[in-house]
Structure 1
Amino acid sequence: MQDPFFILLVGMLIVVGGILAGKLNPFIALLLAALVVAWMTPAAAIVEFALSKGQSDANAIALATTPIGERIAGAFGSTVGKIGILIAMAAIIGKSMLMSGAAERIVRSILGLTGEKNAPLAFLSGSFFLGIPVFFDTVFYLMIPLAKAMAMRLKESYLLLVLCITAGAAMANSLVPPTPGPLFLIAEMNIPIGMMMVGGFLVGLVTTAAGYLFAVWTNKRNQIPLRDSLDAPLKEIQSLADKDSTQLPSLGFSLSPILVPLLLITGSATISTFWDQAAGGTVGVIFDGIHFLGEKNMALILGALAALLTLFLQQDKERAGMKGAVQAALTSGGVIILITAAGGAFGAMLQQTGISIRIESMTEGFQIALIPLAFFITAIVRTAQGSATVAMITASGILSGMSTAGLEYHQLYLGLSIACGSKLIPWMNDSGFWIVCKMSNLTEKEALKTFSPLLTIMGIVGLITILVAAKLFPLV
Structure 2
Amino acid sequence: MSTALIALAAPEAAVPTGRLLPAALVGIALIVLLITRFRLHPFLSLTLGSLAVGAIAGLPMADVITSFTNGFGSTAAGVGTLIALGAMFGKLLADSGGADEIVDTIVGRSSPRSLPWAMAAVGALIGLPMFFEIGLVLLMPVIFLVSRRSGLSLVRVGIPALAGLSVMHGLVPPHPGPLVAIDALKADLGITLGLGVLIAVPTVAIAGPLFARYAARWVDVPAPELFDAGRQQDEGDVRRPSFGVTVATVLLPVVLMMGKAVADLFAAEGTLVRSGLDFLGTPLVALLIAVLVAIFTLGRGAGMDRKALATSLERALPPIAGILLIVAAGGGFKQTLVDTGIGKLVADWVQSSGLSVLLLAWLVAVLIRLATGSATVATVTASGILAPLVTTLDTGHTSLLVLAIGAGSLFFSHVNDAGFWLVKEYFGLSVGQNLKTWSAMETVISVVGLVLVLALSLVV
Q: TM-score normalized by structure 2? A: 0.65
Cα distance in 1, alignment partners of residues 291 and 104 from structure 2: 22
The equivalent of 2:163 in structure 1 is 163
The equivalent of 2:291 in structure 1 is 304
Instruction: Figure out how many residues of one structure are paired with residues of the other and give that number.
Output: 394
The equivalent of 1:153 in structure 2 is 142
Q: Does 1:269 align with 2:261?
A: yes
Residue by residue over 1:388-425, the C-alpha shift from the partner in whole angstroms, topping out at 9 and shown as x without a partner, is 7677765565578xxxxxxxxxxx9x999867754563
Q: Which amino acid aligns with 1:426?
A: S
Q: 2:55 aligns with which of 34, 39, 45?
A: 39
Q: 1:461 aligns with which of 435, 451, 454?
A: 451
Percent identity among equivalent residues? Answer: 21
Contact 1:389–1:422 under 8 Å retained in 2:
yes
Contact 1:392–1:419 under 8 Å retained in 2:
no
Secondary structure in structure 2 of the residue aligned to 1:103: helix
Residues 397, 214 of structure 1: alpha-carbon distance in 2 compared, 3 angstrom cutoff: farther
Q: Does 1:105 align with 2:101?
A: yes
Q: Which amino acid aligns with 2:249?
A: P
Unaligned runs of 5+ residues in structure 2 are: 1-15, 145-153, 174-180, 221-225, 369-377, 412-416, 425-430
The equivalent of 2:63 in structure 1 is 67
Residue by residue over 1:45-69, the C-alpha shift from the partner in whole angstroms, topping out at 9 and shown as x without a partner, is xxxxxxxxxxxxxxxxxxx785322
Q: Which amino acid aligns with 1:7?
A: A
Residue by residue over 1:295-352, the C-alpha shift from the partner in whole angstroms, topping out at 9 and shown as x without a partner, is 1111111111122224542454532211211121011133321222122222332333
Q: Which amino acid aligns with 2:284?
A: N
Cα distance in 2, alignment partners of residues 184 and 92 from structure 1: 25
Cα distance in 2, alignment partners of residues 247 and 104 from structure 1: 11
Shift of 1:102: 0.8
Cα distance in 1, alignment partners of residues 50 and 166 from structure 2: 27
Q: Which amino acid aligns with 2:89?
A: I
Q: Does 1:292 align with 2:279?
A: yes
Contact 1:7–1:40 under 8 Å retained in 2:
yes
Contact 1:376–1:421 under 8 Å retained in 2:
yes
Residue by residue over 1:10-29, the C-alpha shift from the partner in whole angstroms, topping out at 9 and shown as x without a partner, is 22332222222212122222
Cα distance in 2, alignment partners of residues 203 and 254 from structure 1: 25
The equivalent of 2:128 in structure 1 is 139
Contact 1:426–1:455 under 8 Å retained in 2:
no
The equivalent of 1:14 in structure 2 is 30
Shift of 1:253: 3.2
RMSD over equivalenced CA pairs, Å? 5.1
Q: Which amino acid aligns with 2:324?
A: I
Contact 1:426–1:452 under 8 Å retained in 2:
no
Cα distance in 2, alignment partners of residues 153 and 241 from structure 1: 14
The equivalent of 1:29 in structure 2 is 45
Q: 1:260 aligns with which of 245, 252, 263?
A: 252
Q: Does 1:373 align with 2:360?
A: no
Cα distance in 2, alignment partners of residues 314 and 184 from structure 1: 38
Q: Which amino acid aligns with 2:270?
A: A
Secondary structure in structure 1 of the residue aligned to 2:235: coil
Cα distance in 1, alignment partners of residues 289 and 418 from structure 2: 25
Secondary structure in structure 1 of the residue aligned to 2:408: coil
Contact 2:20–2:342 under 8 Å retained in 1:
yes
Cα distance in 2, alignment partners of residues 184 and 27 from structure 1: 23
Q: Which amino acid aligns with 1:349?
A: T
The equivalent of 2:241 in structure 1 is 249
* Pairing of 1:389-468 with structure 2 (within 5 A): 394-395=388-389, 397-398=391-392, 421-423=404-406, 425-426=408-409, 453-454=443-444, 456-462=446-452
Cα distance in 1, alignment partners of residues 279 and 454 from structure 2: 41
Q: Which range moved further: 104-113 or 238-247?
A: 238-247
The equivalent of 1:355 in structure 2 is 342
Contact 2:93–2:298 under 8 Å retained in 1:
yes
The equivalent of 1:318 in structure 2 is 305
Residue by residue over 1:189-228, the C-alpha shift from the partner in whole angstroms, topping out at 9 and shown as x without a partner, is xxxx99x9999987766655554456777899999xxxxx
Unaligned runs of 5+ residues in structure 1 are: 44-63, 131-136, 174-178, 187-192, 224-233, 401-411, 429-435
Q: Which range moved further: 372-381 or 302-311?
A: 372-381
Q: Which amino acid aligns with 1:313?
A: R
Residue by residue over 1:279-299, the C-alpha shift from the partner in whole angstroms, topping out at 9 and shown as x without a partner, is 3xxxx2x44333222211111
The equivalent of 1:329 in structure 2 is 316
Shift of 1:166: 3.4
Q: TM-score normalized by structure 1? A: 0.64
Residue by residue over 1:61-102, the C-alpha shift from the partner in whole angstroms, topping out at 9 and shown as x without a partner, is xxx785322321111111111211211111111111111111
Cα distance in 2, alignment partners of residues 452 and 167 from structure 1: 9
